[in-house]
Amino acid sequence: MGRCAFQDPISENMTEVAAHTDGHDHGHHDHPSWLAHHFDDAEQQFDSGKLGMWLFLVTEILFFSGMFCAYVLYRNRNPEVFEFCSAFLNEKLGAINTGVLLFSSLTMAWAVRASQLKQHKLLVGMLGATLGCAAIFLGVKSVEYTHKWSLGLLPGRMYVAQMENGYHSDVDYLTPLCIAPAVLTVLFALYYVYSLVIASKFHQRVAGPLLVAGLCFFGGIYLGQFIEGGEHHGDSHGAHADAGHGEHASHDEEHAKEAGSETPAPAEASAASSDTGVALVSTSSGPLHDVAVDPKEAAIPNAEVNNQGMAGLFFSIYYCMTGVHAVHIIGGMLVISWLIVKAAREEFHSKYYGPVDNVGLYWHLVDFIWIYLFPLLYLIT
Amino acid sequence: MNFTFLADEAAGFWFPPAASTFAEQVDFLYMAILWISILFFVPIVIAMLYFMVKFRQRPGYKGSPEALHNTPLEITWTVVPTFIVVWIFWEGMIGYLDMARMPDDTVDVAVTAVKWNWAFKYKQNGAESTVLYLPVNKDIKLTMQSRDVLHSFFVPAFRAKRDVVPGRYHYMWFHPTKEGVYDLFCTEYCGDNHSTMITKVEVLSEEKYAAKLAELVKEPEDIVERGKWLYERKACKGCHYAGADGAKGPGPSYNGSWGKQVPLADGREVKFDENYVREAILNPGAAHRKGYETASAMPSYKGQLKDEQIDALIAFIQSLETAGAPAK
Amino acid sequence: MSAVTTPITAPTTTHDGATEHHYLNHSSGFLSWALTLDHKRIGMMYLAGILFAFFLGGVFALAIRIHLWNPNQDPDAAWLTNATYNRVFTLHGAIMVFLFIIPSIPAALGNFLLPIMLGTKDVAFPRLNLGSFYLWITGLIFFAYTLFSTQIDTGWTFYTPYSIEAKSAVEAATLGVFILGFSSIFTGLNFIVTINTMRPPGMSWFKMPLFLWALYATSIIQVLATPVLGITVLLLALERTFGIGIFDPSLNGDPVTFQHFFWFYSHPAVYIMILPAMGIISELMSVHSHKGIFGYRMIAYSSIAIALFGFLVWGHHMFTSGMADVTTIVFSALTFTVSIPSAIKVFNWLGTMYQGTVALNTPMIYALAFIFLFTIGGLTGLFLGALATDMHLHDTYFVVAHFHYVMMGGTLVAFLGGLFHWWPKMTGKMFNDPMGIVSAAIVFVGFNLTFLPQFVLGTRGMPRRYASYVPEFQSLHQLSTVGACILGFGLLVAGLVLLHSLFYGKKAPMNPWGGATLEWECSSPPPHDNFSHPPAVGDPYDFANVEYDGKTGGYYKKKK
Amino acid sequence: MADTHSHSHSDHGHADGEFSHPMPVWMLLAVFFALLGLTFLTVFQAQFDLGSLEIVFSLIIASIKAGLVIAFFMHLVWDKPLNAIAIFSSLIFVALFLGFTLMDAQQYNERLIMDPKNEILENSTPKARLIKASE
């Protein structure tokens, strides 16, 4: 929503400006099309957009601060819960995602430079790279999320305690998650083919990065599964659904929905059992081994920690923080796609690059947040 | 229409009766702030009215358009109020610390707040009641807990208030100074019948208090009587009415259902019998009655009631059918 | 946009203020309003929207008062059931706070006036501005949805854990609040940027009208505090849908933390409501006294001071909630710091009248009523800021009366004063001044009759949010109900006066009151682009050359 | 508060002045590799058990990284001071928010009932913090 802040100068409507200038005397130099009529000059427009963006970032920081507050509060209250639960997060994947986001920040910063210097091709390339990194990030995140879901590591009341035998759901969560990206990728591919057919340079410049980004998502999924280990069985098949499998895919989705609605049931069951049984405190040898995520798990699931009000609360915070962050990534991808269209039209130059700069600021903030999320969630020992 | 402001003899125009040691302190500070406020307010209003008349726009008069500025005056009206509010803060803090600092030798009562009832348990002999009985001229310590949502314990006559937040204990103390019966309100909004979460505090002389506690621990012998006794003490009464008129409370009425098929929210029908009642007490969410879908959830009484007590409650509910109904 | 914007002819502006074409007739058709980027039209649409919300909230308010005519100790004989009563007071609070008071002055009057007072064509981000408006509409739709489903019965504060288990449409309401929050954020963001980057040459910070200072301070709060409300209600919605447990004690979550989250926004939000009102009063006092404002800098600084201190005092809503003793005492101390800048403002307004030429017309009468009522509201805050007395008064009718004196006696009365003050500018029509004064008098009497008894009620221990009460409180409650009906009638009169002016009002001159700020230098109503030539910026409170002109019935600025 | 508008005019003298400052490529790359290095460092230090210092270390590293991103990638060092004020004031308000809330939470920790469903106290010390007690 905040993106509107800088749509303003850009989507400036030529005819409207014309109408105004016809209508009455502005009393000073006429406005180029990229300068909104109520601004005096390019710098004022740029400064306004930029200040608006910084203020928006201020609201973003305060928005996240609520979750950081919850984090500090409950970590401070139950440090052992955070240690226990952090072992379930794959720090390798976290580190890779950190690297990917940092790289995307680099390409974004480079894109700003390219827009200032009118390096239009480079600009499209850099924006495409940023978009691709974002897609990889989401791909890896999908693997992390679905892996946890199948282990019953769900937020709060939905948390399924890691009891004796290690809960493991057979529901394939990943495939339904992949449907939308798969459909989008296919559409992008068709769009790319179309742009080749009509031999439109503009459309090729737009479709190329989009297609790459779509493929990057599945690259991220592959990467995630490769590192997460082969222990959970082949949910990657569905990942490569193409247009021909549309029906099949939607069937899968229904299936997943049913399964999803059933999940609270085991949660309740285990809640009941944890009510009655302190006896479920397990010994160090058992529970985590078959679901082992990470070698550092010396953590012992202890019934006092391993329940909805403790571990469940950690995963609530984990999902809220990373989930809201992921929503920001998706939002960022939308605006970057919009920038790619504008960049392909070669609209930017040294006096009008505010949109790239401002989206850049937003994107760096998303990176900024992750820089804190990574050690706070993944690296607790 | 009755416009008697002083319906309560012990009360003044402003305050409810002053029945604890806090009252003096609070009332003093209140009156002090009131007079300070009047001291500010009256001159402000007089000045305003005077300026309105004196400088009003009228033919033949033209005031000055120049902005005024008077540094000494501005400093005065900044600094003087500052000192005054510092004093108010200080007095308020002293009073608060007095309320927060728990005395050593106290009469202890455990308070449980549950929608929409208060239950009191006396440490002295384990007696339970829904009206709070207190000895006069003793330090009373309350250890409070809520079983569902936020409540707040408020006795205006004691000038004492404390929220009861589920998930933690809350402590408060006060020192009643006057025998009498006072209102006890819940002041934190807690759902449908928030405004009926009222009970009484009875401050008794020491002998009467001891006698009252002794009387409270005696459970009636008769099973039906015991059920009724529990019904009134275990916070059933607030939601489930038992009157013969079949009046509906927030929860299903006890009257007129025994032995009948009752519809559930999920479409099933069950027989209203021993098993159903037991289940409904221990696991209230399992079989929700039709028509009460939007009622606030009843907390489970698992661990709250002994088996025989549940039997007594069942006997009481059954008796409503056979032996006419007691008043609600 | 251009597809729907059809300029009729080039507006011709003459210097005596007679305009033939202005923003209202610049273009026509539904879409020319629905898709407009003109801050004036957006402001007018906001005005219509919030007045509708105010009407809705007002109906609920009357329902509350009528219900409380009787003690209702027999629930069967009561007019409303307890559950219905709870829904009514919740909706009254939520609608008034989120849909009316918070957007009232900034979004409606602020939107209309800010660019004109700055001498610019528009706010910095007109599209975002329109977006804010539609977010507000979306929020309204969510609230309308709750009205037509199971309503909400949590109180406008959504305190957990009751809000988690409540069986009413809390999700829709929280999402509505979330969306309204973003509407508010974007308005604030827009204003900050506009004031920072678009002031005309010559208008330094200290040449800015005080209304703009107030809006600037308000916007800072909107940008800094509202996101925390966003995350709070979002977490609450997640709490209800997924049971995440952060605020749920049955999952070891912490309800008091919810209160911290909530009041970190909602206390500063009190200043979102009152600061712009103070800005309006500063304008009204000086314009209608025809005299420069007393202590301009102190008023400007105190606006910013209030905005910043406002962030440090949220804990005073939680003195009895089991907060730690140290925190409680610190919050109490900080609370008193806010009282000083507010007191300074009252004294400065009085100082402005001194030796001026006080025109006793409708806006001024409202402004004077504001000073009376706001002073009571502010002073009763001292009772609640002091810990010992707050222990007794917390969550009683004393609090209800206190914040109605501030929110309604303060913000609403100032809003009405501002509305009457700028009505000729906004619509180009003069209203019936004597009738306006009558409306102000009725509102004043009705208001005091409604809420003064509530102070006594609260002191005597009547808890708030009670659908029934012990009979000894009845006479005071009935006084209050009578007052509420008078108040409602007064507001009705005010509305009719304004409505009447739309159809039968005289044409408004450019500067009917003799103001010196820039909005009085464009015609009434202003042309589409506000100023055909950039206006000359002078001292906004220099009334020395503002002269009355009998021919137009308005004032003009004498050229030196 | 900086008077940005008149500042910008007086600074550049002419309204259509050049205001873009492209960052050199070497600087972009240097910042990126520094960030990458710090990421490795933070993962590396997580291997060791540093006790309570661990959180301090990882937060210091994270803050250095965040600082690099803000200063260079977001080119705040070349930006108008007002923008810097905005972003730092937001951090102050976050600190305020967290500070007060946690100050409060710290104090009532020992009053918590970790198993709220339990039968109420026979009067007395809460069984707060089950875990700590069982240690």
CB within 8 Å: D107 and C326: yes
CB B152 within 8 A of CB B163: yes
The C-alpha atoms of residue A331 and residue A333 are separated, in whole angstroms, by 5
Search chain C and give the residue with CA nearest B158: C392
Structural domain includes residue D34: yes
Task: Measure A28 CA to nearest chain D CA, in Å.
Answer: 12
pLDDT tens digits, one per residue of A61-118? 999 999 999 999 999 888 888 888 888 888 899 999 999 999 999 999 999 999 999 9
pLDDT tens digits, one per residue of A307-362? 788 888 999 999 999 999 999 999 999 999 999 999 999 999 998 999 999 999 99
Residue A230 has pLDDT above 60, yes or no: no
Nearest to B159 by CA among B111, B59, B92, B226: B92
Which residue's entry shows tokens 């009254």?
Answer: C92
What are the chain A neighbours of C225 within 8 Å (beta carbons)? 62
Domain identity same for D69 and D85: no
Q: How confident is the model at residue A28 (pLDDT cuts 50, 70, 90)?
A: very low
* CB-facing half-sphere around the CA of C341: CA atoms within 13 A: 23
What are the chain C neighbours of B150 within 8 Å (beta carbons)? 159, 161-162, 255, 321
Q: Domains of chain C by range and CATH?
A: 36-557 (1.20.210.10)
Cα–Cα distances in angstroms (integers) from residue A277 to residues A157, A161, A307, in the given order = 17, 12, 11
pLDDT tens digits, one per residue of C460-514? 999 999 999 999 899 999 999 999 999 999 999 999 999 999 999 999 999 999 9
CB within 8 Å: A13 and C128: no
Sign of torsion over alpha carbons C368, C372, C377, C378: positive
Structural domain includes residue D13: no
Structural domain includes residue D3: no
pLDDT tens digits, one per residue of A119-139? 999 999 999 999 999 999 999
What residue segments make up the domains of chain B, in order of their start? 21-54+68-100, 107-216, 223-322
pLDDT on residue D120: 38
Q: How confident is the model at residue C47 (pLDDT cuts 50, 70, 90)?
A: very high
Count of other CB atoms within 10 angstroms of residue D80: 19
pLDDT tens digits, one per residue of C517-540? 999 988 888 998 888 777 888 888
Count of other CB atoms within 10 angstroms of residue B14: 14
Q: How many domains does chain D have?
A: 2
Q: How confident is the model at residue C16 (pLDDT cuts 50, 70, 90)?
A: very low
pLDDT on residue A191: 95
Domain identity same for D96 and D135: yes
Which residue's entry shows tokens 């759902």?
Answer: B191
**Is C542's Cβ below 8 Å from some Cβ in B?**
yes
Give me the residues of C, 248-287, that contact D with CB < 8 A: 249-250, 252, 254, 256-257, 260-261, 264
CB A157 within 8 A of CB C253: no
CB within 8 Å: D16 and A351: yes
Top residue of B68, B115, B172 to mutate, by most chain C CBs within 10 Å, is: B68
Domain identity same for D71 and D87: no
Structural domain includes residue D99: yes
What are the chain D neighbours of B169 within 8 Å (beta carbons)? 111, 113, 121, 126
Torsion-angle region of residue D84: left (phi > 0), alpha (psi -120 to 50) or beta?
A: alpha
Domain identity same for D56 and D99: no
The arithmetic mean of pLDDT across residues C99-117, rounded, is: 94
The C-alpha atoms of residue C274 and residue C272 are separated, in whole angstroms, by 6
Q: Could you write out the DSSP letters of every residue in C144-211?
A: HHHHHTT---STTTT-TTHHHH--S-HHHHHHHHHHHHHHHHHHHHHHHHHHHH-PPTT--GGGS-HH
Give every CB contact of residue A197 below 8 A, 6+ residues apart in sequence. Answer: none
Nearest to A131 by CA among A32, A40, A216, A218: A216
pLDDT tens digits, one per residue of D15-54? 446 788 888 999 999 999 999 999 999 988 888 777 778 8
Give me the domain span that covers residue D134.
Answer: 80-135
Structural domain includes residue D1: no
Write out the H or E segment, with its range, that includes residue B161: strand B160-164
Tokens for B173, please give them. Answer: 């103390």
Top residue of C252, C254, C523 to mutate, by most chain A CBs within 10 Å, is: C252
Domain boundary among D39, D60, D78: D78
The C-alpha atoms of residue C387 and residue B91 are separated, in whole angstroms, by 8
pLDDT tens digits, one per residue of B119-139? 999 988 888 888 999 999 999
Nearest to C154 by CA among C179, C181, C136, C172: C172
Q: How confident is the model at residue B247 (pLDDT cuts 50, 70, 90)?
A: low
- Name the percent of chain A lying above pLDDT 90: 50
Q: What is the ipTM of this complex?
A: 0.86
Domain identity same for D72 and D49: yes
**Is C126's Cβ below 8 Å from some Cβ in A?**
yes
What residue segments make up the domains of chain A, in order of their start? 56-378
Which subunits sit against B, judged by 3+ Cβ pairs under 8 A?
Answer: C, D
Q: What are phi and psi of C10, to 5 degrees?
A: -65, 130
Give me the residues of A, 128-187, that contact C with CB < 8 A: 155-158
What are the chain B neighbours of D106 within 8 Å (beta carbons)? none
Task: Measure B159 CA to nearest chain C CA, in Å.
Answer: 5
Burial (Cβ within 10 Å: 0-12, 13-18, ≥19) of residue C490: buried
CB within 8 Å: B29 and C467: no
Which of C320, C380, C461 is facing B162, going by the closest CB pair? Answer: C320
Give every CB contact of residue B207 below 8 A, 6+ residues apart in sequence. Answer: none
Q: How confident is the model at residue A243 (pLDDT cuts 50, 70, 90)?
A: very low
Task: Measure D126 CA to nearest chain B CA, in Å.
Answer: 7
Structural domain includes residue D10: no
Q: Does domain B107-216 have CATH number 2.60.40.420?
A: yes
The CATH number that domain B223-322 falls under is 1.10.760.10
pLDDT on residue A303: 65
pLDDT on residue B259: 79
**Is C70's Cβ below 8 Å from some Cβ in B?**
no
CB within 8 Å: C260 and D100: yes
The CATH number that domain A56-378 falls under is 1.20.120.80
Q: Which of A224-228, B238-242, C294-298, C527-531 is predicted with the least confidence, judged by mean pLDDT?
A: B238-242
CB within 8 Å: B78 and C344: yes
Q: How confident is the model at residue B245 (pLDDT cuts 50, 70, 90)?
A: low
